[in-house]
Amino acid sequence: MDTTNFNTDSFRDITFDLLSGIANDPSKLDEFARAYLTKLHERTDGDNLRKYTRDIYEKILALQMIHVNPGFQLKDTFHEKIVIAYFWTFSNIHSSHMMPKLIGIDKRYSTAGVTIIGIHSPKYEHEKNKANVRHAMEEQSLPFNVVNDSSLSVWKHVGCQIWPTVLVFGPDAIPIFIFEGENHVQHTETFLAFALAYYKSSVRASPNISAAIKMSPDDPAASGATSKPAKFTYPSHLCITSSGQMCISYAGSNQLILCEIDGKVLEVVGNGHPGMADGDISQVEFDSPRGMAEYNSCIYIADTNNHAIRVFDPNSRRVLTLIGTGRLGTDKVGGLKRSQQPIASPWDLCITESPFDHKTVLLISMAGQHQIWAYAFEETQWWNNLTLQKNACLAIIGSGEEGNRNDPEPMSATLAAPRGICNGIMNGQPVLFIADSNSSSIRVVTLQNGNVSNLIGGDADPTNLSAFGDLDGSGFNAKFQYPLGVAFHYPSSQLYITDTYNNKLKRVDMTTLTCSSYFVTDIDTKKQRGESNSAKFNEPQGITIFDHFMFIADKNNSHVKRIDLDKGTIVRCRFNLSETLNEERTFGSKQAYLTITLPDTLQLRETNTGTWSIEDEDGFKICDGELASSMSDQMLLDYIPREKQAARLKYEVVVCEGEKCTMMSGEVQPVNQTDSIIEFNIKIEQEEANTS
């Protein structure tokens, strides 16, 4: 291991040797790691290793700090600490995947002598701006310090090749590990434990002072105020329901609001804490909720950082997890059902129909896997003679490799962190439009056969993911900078796009296939002093169209805006929380829920499905009703007076296996009963149906 010149290639080689040895014999992880650290410190060129580290430290010290603790001095970070240098950029989905792990390391080890320095290393022009980096940090609630390497000086000095990259240095300035790419960075904490044990006597612990991002002056947390109304930050997406209401996802505050179009807030969904708890809207948790779609009066939510699809039922006022395990998935095929199927960073949702049997399917832009997935509400025929099984979730577009390759075979095409997705019409045929963010292009998929092609932007070279800019035009001559949202206006055959990192709106005329910047006039008469021009955007993301109005989530301004497409005017939407209905409907009552669990071979009969009744301890009926096969997995039965104690639920239900149907009857006791909820569970086994 001795050498006269130590550089990043040398660093890669020794770390690679360690990882290769462990891969060949995982049982010797402890032995290999300890031997590696011992041998590293026995090198005769220790001064060269320290010079390598100190040169990097000097480059970091020359950068602009963004996130600072009061009285914090960056140079103190390097003294008697194990230092983790994390190279990332906020547009990169793989950096986003690893951020929770880095936050967890900071939480667990920041007082044990470990310091993380985020080195923001931008790809896009928009990412070079300090204010935009701060917005990304606030949205993700980063607890560690970040420097802005806007000119990539440290990135180039080190010779980084991929986001994310982690370098780990010892308190003696010896470079210990280098991990490159998501698959390797995820193991940082495993090897950190060995480093802490090795340096136990030389690492200086830190006081328990957590880093706090500086809030805006009017933020209640910054001013110490407690009487100000709740503040919803970083709106991401919007959804107009069939009843004409609007649901808005706030990625920064991990909540949804359901409101009337005029801004009257009906419900606040979520307690604001990042997490994955299901349940009543006041208790439920999200982690960066984004795209939404409505089906059968329920709102489906892409809960991005939970790697899950959640379902909000406004009638029952509850949220359940439909798809995802809560952990980052690596599967690029899928096929499992509901919450058994792991997924990766779902971003946007779209309800569409199969062109073959017209059954409804939920489409998911899976940014983390560079694919589009589908969830089938019932068995559905799809292209290439594929049958989508009921309740199954699987990939239907994209190989999973990141790229910009168009292909008539949808699973051979490549996408690059696809975000926005919507239905539309092109050449008289139903299509899907996809904002393929990291290729800075808009892709189009023909629903009849899955053919994937380029509509606008990007580059003809499928490997070129740096063809971004800000140019109107057609085909590859037009340029975007990381578009995130798409919405199709059927009356005018215009596709509207949020060109997010250019802070603009654009539109494509589907008759000429020409893209042009879309400018609007601010007519907002309700501005308060200091409010900016509503026609100016700062990272606009989700958009949706209702009648001749288009609504935009202007993320970094934390505003929702409304454009009149007929007049070309814009105003900011303002929300009134004074009459929120969050407590109104549950006063004096509790909700009764029923879950029916069946084997895959059985289903409820579509008509005359069955009946139910709830009784108290004395056998008196509290309430009753009929079952319907279209009810959700956990169905709201009725509201029961809070003072009533339910003892049992009696049921008769018809289950079918093919054409054969059987009446099942019985009774079950509550599996859960509180002052606000009663839950019953009916579980029918195959053997019961066969013997009835």
**What does DSSP assign to residue 204?**
P
Do 609 and 627 meet the contact criterion of CB atoms below 8 Å apart?
yes
- The 10s digit of each residue's pLDDT in 300-319 is 999 999 999 999 999 889 99
Q: Is 222 a residue whose pLDDT tops 50? A: no
- What is the pLDDT, as a whole number, of residue 527? 72
Helix (H) or strand (E) holding 109: helix 93-109
Q: Is 393 a residue whose pLDDT tops 70? A: yes
* Portion of the chain with pLDDT greater than 70, in percent: 91
Across the range 520-547, mean pLDDT stands at: 87
- What is the pLDDT, as a whole number, of residue 217? 33
Q: Which of 17, 21, 14 is nearest to 42 (CA)?
A: 14
- The 10s digit of each residue's pLDDT in 179-217 is 999 989 988 998 998 999 999 888 887 765 444 333 333
DSSP states along 282-333:
TT--BSSEEEEEEETTEEEEEEGGGTEEEEEETTTTEEEEEE--SS----SS
Across the range 398-426, mean pLDDT stands at: 97
- What is the pLDDT, as a whole number, of residue 540? 98
Q: Which of 677, 483, 560 is nearest to 236 (CA)?
A: 560
Q: Is 580 a residue whose pLDDT tops 90? A: no
Token reading at 433:
């439009």
- What is the pLDDT, as a whole number, of residue 582? 47
b/e per residue 411-444 (b: at least 16 CB within 10 A): bebbbbbbbbbbbbebeeeebbbbbbbbbbbbbb
Token reading at 581:
């209905």
Q: Is the pTM of this model over 0.85?
A: no
Omega prior to 100 cis, within 30 of 0: no
C-alpha separations of 297 from 310, 391, 550 in Å:
14, 18, 21
Residue ranges per domain, the chain? Answer: 8-213, 233-323+565-583, 592-681
- What is the pLDDT, as a whole number, of residue 659? 85
> How many C-beta neighbours within 10 Å does residue 184 have?
19
**Dihedrals φ, ψ of 62, to 5°?**
-80, -5
Beta bridge partners of 264: 576
**Phi/psi zone of residue 670: left (φ > 0), alpha (ψ -120 to 50 degrees), beta?**
beta
- What is the pLDDT, as a whole number, of residue 579? 54
- What is the pLDDT, as a whole number, of residue 629? 62
402 vs 596: which has the higher pLDDT? 402
b/e per residue 487-514 (b: at least 16 CB within 10 A): bbbeeeebbbbbbbbbbbbbbbebeeeb
Distance, in Å, from the CA atom of 49 to the CA atom of 173, rounded to the nearest integer, reads 8
Q: Is 98 a residue whose pLDDT tops 70? A: yes
Do 385 and 399 meet the contact criterion of CB atoms below 8 Å apart?
no
Domain 8-213: what homologous superfamily?
Answer: Glutaredoxin (3.40.30.10)
214 vs 478: which has the higher pLDDT? 478
Distance, in Å, from the CA atom of 503 to the CA atom of 366, rounded to the nearest integer, reads 24
Do 246 and 260 meet the contact criterion of CB atoms below 8 Å apart?
yes
Q: How confident is the model at residue 71 (pLDDT cuts 50, 70, 90)?
A: low
Query: Kind of pairing, strands 246-250 and 265-269?
Result: unpaired
Architecture of the 233-323+565-583 domain? Beta Barrel (2.40)
Across the range 231-242, mean pLDDT stands at: 94
Query: Kind of pairing, strands 569-572 and 610-616?
Result: unpaired
Token reading at 498:
């949020």
Token reading at 620:
């008196």
- What is the pLDDT, as a whole number, of residue 627? 77
Q: How confident is the model at residue 333 (pLDDT cuts 50, 70, 90)?
A: very high
User: Across all residues in the chain, what is the average pLDDT?
Assistant: 89
Q: Is 691 a residue whose pLDDT tops 90? A: no
Which of these ranges, 345-354, 422-431, 634-643, has the smallest mean pLDDT? Answer: 634-643
Q: How crowded is the C-beta side of 352, counted as CA atoms within 13 Å?
A: 26
692 vs 228: which has the higher pLDDT? 692
Q: Is 83 a residue whose pLDDT tops 80? A: yes
Which of these ranges, 44-48, 323-327, 686-690, has the smallest mean pLDDT? Answer: 686-690
- What is the pLDDT, as a whole number, of residue 80? 86
- The 10s digit of each residue's pLDDT in 247-268 is 999 999 999 999 999 889 999 9
* Alpha helical stretches, state H, 224-264: none
- The 10s digit of each residue's pLDDT in 376-392 is 999 999 998 899 999 99
Which of these ranges, 155-159, 418-422, 622-626, 654-658, has the smallest mean pLDDT? Answer: 622-626
Which of these ranges, 96-105, 342-351, 399-408, 569-578, has the smallest mean pLDDT? Answer: 569-578
Q: Is 89 a residue whose pLDDT tops 80? A: yes
